[in-house]
Chain A
């Protein structure tokens, strides 16, 4: 299974600012995913990021608010823009596993608090 790291692990930010979260994988992967997990809730998919193409966003999430970069097969960033307290959440990246079974491997998450 892939080893995934995220930076930062946590941050406290002021309303109206932006934060960029990095996700690094120890092997090359085609598909990377970004999720949000609000306090006490399950995971909600924000977008799917394929290298060499624009990210595909889920309903309720837009590129202006959550721009994503995918410059190569081992790295991606998610930016949370113009933050409000409602953006306080854990943000997780994941990668697809081998085989065609949709298994995913997750990073440790970034805990974001917006004041």
Chain B
């Protein structure tokens, strides 16, 4: 069955450092991989999308890589700030416009 795994342990990093979050998947050939941010008590907010034929995508301090051979995506936040503290979800889609979400990783950026 399809499985999307993100590190369930919270990631604690110091302000100014680069945070790197991992998303691994099995039994899936996604056309798109997306990253969302979710704050407590709120719905997820779309951040970035990368297509299966793309290796890397950037947006301001965010960078996503996509390795379809390793079946892995890395999500980087450079120069992290306490305001970046949230849970980050990866989501995959193939056909039929349906998204399958990973378990999410909680990021905590401290001063």
CB-nearest residue of chain A to B102? A42
Determine if A92 and B43 form an interchain contact, defined as CB atoms under 8 angstroms apart. Answer: yes
- Please state if A106 and B45 are interface contacts (CB–CB under 8 Å): yes
Kindly state the separation between the CA atoms of A101 and B98 in the bound complex, as whole angstroms.
10
Size band of the interface chain B makes with A: 20 to 34
Q: Which residues of A contact B41 (CB under 8 A)?
A: 108-109, 111
**Quick check: is A43 within 8 A (CB to CB) of the other chain?**
yes
Nearest-neighbour CB distance to chain A for B43, whole angstroms, equals 3
Contact between A109 and B42, CB atoms less than 8 A apart: yes
Contact of B99 among A1, A4, A41, A102 (CB under 8 A): A102
Contact A102:B32 (CB < 8 A) given known A45-B98, A96-B97: yes
- Within 8 Å CB of B100, what residues of A? 45
Other-chain residue from B46, B93, B97 in contact with A105 (beta carbon distance below 8 A)? B46
A–B complex contacts, Cβ < 8 Å, 5 sampled: A44-B101, A48-B97, A92-B43, A102-B34, A103-B46
